[in-house]
Amino acid sequence: MKKTITLLFAYLSIFSCSSSNDDITEVVTVTPPVIENKINLTSNYSDTTETVSLKWTLSGEATYNHYKIVRSDSQNGIQSEIGNSYPNQFTFTSAVPFNPYVEYQVIGIKANGEEVKSNIIKIERPEIKLINLKTFDAQFDKNSGKLYLLDTDGKIAIYDVNTNSVTHQISTNATLGYSDIGTYNGSVELYVPRNDGWVDIYDGNDLTLKAQVSFGMPLISTVYHNAILYGSSNNNSSYSVIKSASRATKAIISQSPQLYYNSGRMRKAVGTSVQLYTITQNITPVDMDLYNFDLNGNYISHQDDTYHGDHPLNHRIFEAFPDGRIITASSGSVYNSQMIYQHDLPSGNSKLSSFDFDSNSIIAGTTSKTIELYNINSYTKTKTINTKRFPYKVFSYNNKVVCVSSVTQLNVQSYDYSGIIPDNIMIEIFDK
């Protein structure tokens, strides 16, 4: 009996141990990871063509009705839609605006209107330095390298080509005309006509207003020579005269007879007298005139051209050679000192936008993003310089060419009635 009880206890102990060591199966529910809906944008920018190729891939299970491509011209700036693509189209090519900073983004649009935005692609070009001036006139001091820029809103700025920077800027709160620079008592000055009849005289270093001279008529243009200012009235006004005034006393010296709509923008050539050539604006036919004053500012004579618009004339594109010849218009039309038409420069299909000179060459900007050099006597082309943007004003500066370029192409003409002015400019400098 005792033996039986002992065996039963042992059996039960063995059974109990066996039951406590049995494996227990744990049921685990595995949830697959959630893949976020993303649009992954990459790009390839070409500096040669100034275009960007956008390409995107998708992650997640979202499907899209279409894609919007948007662009901004500043960091976190307002985006504008520049295109869209179909659901199965994952590339887009765009011309890149000529700005130092541009952003691109692709936005996927679901059927319910929900948007999924891609990462942002940035194109940064710090070498592009835009000047936000609607520049209609520019003067250049070839001794100091200072460029004076006048805009249609009455602002004036100095750009130093040696430091590639705007050093001074003012607002005149006036409607300005075509200006000139000169030296008075050893100091460089900028002479700026206004439509209220005054010429403002600014210090050429910092644009401090030094003096004002009243011409008593709306002014479109002024030139300066030997301490004498000359002012021409708008040819739409009833004045249509040119007056001279002393820089020292600020008194009127002389004036031309009142003629019928024969004044306008002036260019000067100086020999034994001061020859003032004018081209009219905003009237047809366009006319060129020559006014002679002696070296003391006294009026001598007036001469009208004989063509009255038979050959190209454009007051916006208008320069006098050092010897008194005249060149004007997008055709590069040359006239002798007596306003007799000679011929046009051999510019082919390129339209010319601006002229300057050195001892050997006519320097001409073109709408084809080039600067052309022509022999100053034979007029044959001697060199082509490629520019980044569209030359608007060109200036000779020692062995270089300073170019005020419009960011966008302008519609220059043989006879200009357009009033087209660049919205933004940049300064380009090239070796001759």
- pTM for the model: 0.84
pLDDT at residue number 3: 39
pLDDT the model gives residue 419: 63
Domains of the chain: 38-124 (2.60.40.10), 129-173+341-432 (2.40.128), 177-310 (2.40.128.630)
Give the DSSP H or E segment for 245: strand 242-246
pLDDT at 412: 80
**Tokens standing for residue 281:** 């604006």
At 225 the pLDDT is 97
Distance CA 230, CA 268 (A): 10
Give the model confidence (pLDDT) of 30-89 as tens digits.
Answer: 566 656 789 999 999 999 899 999 999 999 988 999 999 999 999 889 999 999 999 999
Query: Quick one: which of 244, 242, 269, 262 has its CA closest to 254?
Result: 244
Those residues of the chain that have pLDDT short of 50 are 1-21
pLDDT digits over 13-26, tens only? 434 444 444 555 56
CA 391, CA 383: separation in Å to the nearest integer? 16
Per-residue pLDDT at 426: 96
CB-side exposure of 31: number of CA atoms within 13 Å? 3
What is the pLDDT at residue 101? 96
Q: What is the pLDDT of residue 76?
A: 84
- Write down the pLDDT at residue 11: 38
How is residue 186 written in tokens?
Answer: 């050893």
Tell me the residue ranges of DSSP E strands in 331-420.
Answer: 333-335, 341-344, 352-357, 361-366, 370-375, 381-386, 390-397, 400-406
